[in-house]
């Protein structure tokens, strides 16, 4: 169904029928419930703190012995926040936090080459996001610190990190 056809269909419905349909969607689909829960009660700070806790637990687990160090956990939260329309500064904060916690993890562990490639992808996405949303002044110090740390520790893909940082210029 096209957007136009949907719009025509919805305009023909009575208010009561439209309300019933929205309630049915709310009850049937978790994504709709999540959207409306966020739209009417956007506890962004709580959501961001929960995401940071989960990301931190990936690298420094509280309940289990071995860290999983999966980038996908952070990416899932970031994608979800973008989809919901969370404030761009908060999304960028989670992106920076992900890289900072990964750098702390890398200092204590011997990590595979794929880890560095994954962090390069995260760094590139973060610099692009910060650039697109014009929030560089808020995050410049953190971004530079992450970059310098990657250079200082001789991370793989040093040149690619430099190119990703050039996006900001």
Per residue in 26-70, pLDDT (tens digit) is 999 998 998 888 888 888 999 999 999 999 999 999 988 899 999
**Burial annotation 27-49 (CB, 10 A radius, 16+ → b, else e):** eeeeeeeebeebeeeeebeebbe
Region 82-104 average pLDDT: 95
Tokens 């995260």 belong to residue:
122
What does pTM read for this prediction?
A: 0.86
- Both tokens of 24, joined, read 């049915």
Domain boundaries along the sequence of the chain = 16-166
């Amino acid at each position: 169904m096209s957007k136009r056809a949907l719009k025509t269909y919805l305009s023909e419905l009575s208010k009561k029928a439209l309300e019933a349909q929205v309630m049915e969607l709310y009850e049937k689909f978790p994504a709709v419930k999540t959207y409306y829960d966020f739209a009417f009660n956007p506890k962004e700070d709580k959501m961001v703190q929960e995401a940071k806790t989960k990301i931190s637990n990936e690298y420094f687990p509280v309940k289990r012995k071995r860290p999983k160090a999966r980038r996908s956990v952070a990416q899932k939260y970031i994608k979800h926040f973008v989809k919901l329309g969370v404030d761009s500064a908060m999304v960028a904060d989670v992106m920076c936090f992900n890289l900072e916690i990964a750098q702390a993890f890398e200092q204590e562990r011997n990590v595979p080459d794929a880890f560095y490639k994954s962090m390069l992808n995260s760094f590139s996405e973060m610099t692009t996001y910060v650039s697109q949303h014009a929030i560089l002044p808020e995050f410049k110090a953190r971004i530079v610190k992450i970059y310098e740390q990657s250079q200082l520790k001789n991370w793989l893909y040093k040149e690619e990190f430099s190119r990703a940082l050039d996006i900001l210029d």
